[in-house]
Amino acid sequence: MRNLNTWVLVAILICGAGMMLTACKGGQSANETSESMEEYKKIVRSWYGENKTITDGSYDQSLAVKCINGTFVGKKAENTIVFRGIPYVGQQPVGDLRWKAPVDVVSCDSVYEAYYNAKTAVQPEAELSSLYYQGEDCLYLNVWKPAKVSAEKKPVIVWIHGGAYEYGGTVDPLYDFQNFVEENPEVIVVSVAYRLGVFGFLHLSHLPDGKDYPDAQNLGLLDQLMALRWVHENIAGFGGDPDNVTLMGESAGGGSVTCLSLAGGTPADAPTRSLSHQYFNKVIALSGNPGLSRSTEQAVACTNELMEALGCKTVADLRKVDVQKLVGVASELLPLRMAPERDGNLLPKNPWEAIASGAVKDITFLHGVNKDEMNFFLVEMGGAEPFNEWAADRKAKKLSLMTDGEKALTERFCNDVKGESYEPYCKWFSQLMFNAPCIRLSEEQTKAGGKSFTYYFTVESALPLLKSGHGMALAPLFKHPELDGDTGRPFDETFSKTMRKMFVQFAKTGNPSVTADISPDGKAKEWPLYDVADKKVMVFDEFDIHPEKERQRKIVDWDRTYFLTNYYCF
């Protein structure tokens, strides 16, 4: 994909590889928008191919890795071998397996190509990955490994993409890790696709025939867990260390990796929880947290709204609805409301209490937020007017749940924000969805005896309104300066390389600090653990990466917004 001409990349990524394409429609007519989408789709679909079984023994064995479910043959790209479209399940979740838990792989001796990305999970056509071929048969992963053979097992990073649990996919060029592995050949990277939206997070068990679908509300997470199991059992064949795995995700991916650290129920279910912890020991959560989740009551309400809109009474009725109609109606009716469910089974009812009790103290966290998270959504929704309309409605619903004292605190916070009409909403929702949960995760993890390295990313886009919005760190972190649609400009390369080195160092050792001899700018960077006294975070300023006490940046308003974590994000 990165071999496309620069002008083509600019054309299809003009709003950014990770940004919703709806953000760039403001100045276009409906016909122009439709024509643009069709052009984008032609380009993205030109990347598609079907991996075939190799039956004649004609393949380069140096590019092949034997796994439990077959031998997979990758392609060499410069100094990296890339394996695309490896299934991590025994059967894809189609037909009678729709809304069912993923099926484990079975032993197989066949040889398969691993040349092409598999289909993207079914979703509305709104984001770059959604323009690729879609299908419910989407449970695949990709692997990037250094071509040079090494006797030493390498640390593994498993990437979970974001997209509000409704959009996105591993085909996105931003999530191509060849550049990253070329620069950092001491690691192996895996990217995972999973079920999204109504196919990955739809509560069904309360319906008359719903008892046969007990896991439907958290299938996306169960898919990710199955992928982690596959990685644990097979990554050694790629040169990876199954005992040194770091989960990494952004936005909904950051929510996913923090939820995966909690997967297993209540704190008393330690033996169950250890089944997930055996697959990883570190978590990198970029702009994501366990607060990006729903209660069972919220999940049931969403399902009921969808069923009423579609005129359905049962799961059987729902199965008869055209797939694109199903995802389309859900997208319009339930924007930013699909998410993992705190069901008391896979996830605890109260993740903050679980973290405080020590449920994840054996996992080391590296996580943080961007300075202006919600400005991304301001731009993505089309500017001040539509954003304000959405924000006013969502804020009113949150306020209806609060005490009079909490409502007063909220209004005082918003009234103190100066500027344009959207700015109080941006600041308040950044606190609700990102800042306050980020700091609470650091607080609870640290108090429980666990480790948390916390960051604050401040580099701003050159694009109007966006500032240091959601997703801003991805292009520099993954070494894609050519995909600067979300940033409006390439960031300083020494800064970007230093940030990458610190994240790689965390994956290798569990500590992101770098010594002068390996730091790209020749200066040591000591990243302190968060503690409840000084509350130090690492500030990623473009020309000055340095630690500060949280109170210097006021990442959270302790009096007026920290309590928002009790109300979660949805």
End residue of a domain, out of 318, 336, 362: 362
Query: Alpha-carbon distance 93 to 358, whole Å?
Result: 35
Strand partners, 72: 65, 112
The residue segments making up the domain with residue 28 are: 1-46
Q: 137 and 11, same structural domain?
A: no
Nearest CA among 523, 467, 471 for reference residue 498: 523
Per-residue pLDDT band at 35 (split at 50, 70, 90): confident
Q: Which of 30, 46, 62 is where one domain is finished? A: 46
Provide mean pLDDT across the span 93-116. 98
Whether residue 271 is predicted with pLDDT greater than 90 in this model: the reply is no
In the chain, what is the straight-line distance between the N-terminal and C-terminal CA atoms, in Å? 35
Does residue 361 register a pLDDT over 50? yes
| CA pair distance 245, 157, nearest whole angstrom | 6
Query: Is pLDDT at 267 greater than 60 in this prediction?
Result: no
CATH number of the domain where residue 377 is located: 3.40.50.1820
Render pLDDT for 433-480 as a digit per residue (tens, 0 to 9).
999 999 999 999 999 999 999 999 999 999 989 999 999 999 999 999
User: Which residue pairs from 54-61 have beta carbons closer than 8 angstroms and sit at least 24 positions apart in sequence?
Assistant: 54/111, 54/112, 54/113, 55/111, 57/111, 59/111
Three-class SS of residue 549?
strand
- φ and ψ at 148, to 5 degrees? -70, 125
Residues 124 and 214 both lie in one domain: yes
**56 and 38 together in one domain:** no
Residue 269, helix vs strand vs coil: coil
Same domain, 19 and 133: no
Q: Which of 129, 205, 251, 331 is catalytic?
A: 251
Whether residue 294 is found in the same domain as residue 391: no
* pLDDT over 60 at 7, yes or no: no
The two structure tokens encoding residue 84: 């695309």
Select the more confidently predicted residue: 8 or 432. 432
- Bridge partners of 87, per DSSP, are 140
In whole angstroms, give the CA distance from residue 118 to residue 94: 15
CA angle 479, 371, 387 (to 5 degrees): 105
Q: Clarify whether residues 68 and 33 are in a common domain.
A: no
CA atoms within 13 A on the CB side of 353: 11
- The mean pLDDT of 251-270, rounded to a whole number, is 79
Residues 20 and 86 in one domain: no
User: Maximum distance among all alpha carbons in the chain?
Assistant: 73
Task: Give the count of beta carbons closer than 10 Å to the beta carbon of residue 17.
Answer: 25
Tell me which of 303, 337, 362 is where a domain ends.
362
255 and 292 Cβ atoms separated by less than 8 Å? yes
Asked if residue 303 has pLDDT above 70, the reply is: yes
Question: Which pLDDT does position 526 carry in this prediction?
Answer: 98
Q: Average pLDDT, stretch 239-248?
A: 98
Question: Above 90 in pLDDT, residue 3?
Answer: no
Average pLDDT of the segment spanning 148-173: 96
Segments of 403-528 assigned E as strands: 451-457
> Which of 66-75, 90-99, 260-269, 279-288 is least confident?
260-269
Three-state helix/strand/coil letters over 373-427: CCHHHHHHCCCHHHHHHHHHHHHHHHHCCCCHHHHHHHHHHHHCCCCCCCHHHHH
| CB-facing half-sphere around the CA of 106: CA atoms within 13 A | 4
Q: What are phi and psi of 374, to 5 degrees?
A: -70, -10
| Spatial separation of the C-alpha atoms in residues 88 and 91, rounded to whole Å | 9
With cut-offs at 50, 70 and 90, classify the pLDDT of residue 391.
very high
Same-domain check for residues 39 and 69? no
Please indicate whether residue 558 or residue 10 has the higher confidence score (pLDDT): 558
Tokens of 355: 């973290």
Report the pLDDT averaged over residues 266-292.
77
> Which whole number is the average pLDDT over 330-350?
94
Alpha-carbon span 85 to 71, nearest angstrom: 13
**How many separate domains does the chain show?**
3
Reported confidence tier of residue 30, pLDDT bands at 50, 70, 90: low
For residue 137, the tally of other CB atoms under 10 A from its CB is 18
**40 and 167 share a domain?**
no
Residue 266 confidence (pLDDT): 40
How sure is the predictor about 482, in pLDDT bands with cuts at 50, 70 and 90?
confident
Q: What is the share, in percent, of the chain residues with pLDDT greater than 70? A: 92
On whether both 31 and 55 belong to a single domain, the answer is no
Q: Which pLDDT score, from 0 to 100, does residue 488 have?
A: 85
Q: Cα–chain-centroid distance for residue 126?
A: 17
Q: What is the pLDDT of residues 200-222, one digit of tens each?
A: 999 999 999 999 999 999 999 99
DSSP states of 129-171 as a string?
GGGS-B-S---EEEEEEESS--SSPEEEEEEE--STTTS--TT
Range 28-57 average pLDDT: 85
227 with 255, same domain: the answer is yes
CA neighbours closer than 13 Å in the CB half-sphere of residue 261: 34
- Verify whether residue 274 is a known catalytic residue: no
Domain co-membership, 259 together with 186:
yes
pLDDT at 15: 36
Q: What is the pTM of this model?
A: 0.94
- Residue 467 DSSP code: S
Predicted confidence band of residue 19 (pLDDT cuts 50, 70, 90): very low
In this model, does residue 22 exceed pLDDT 70? no
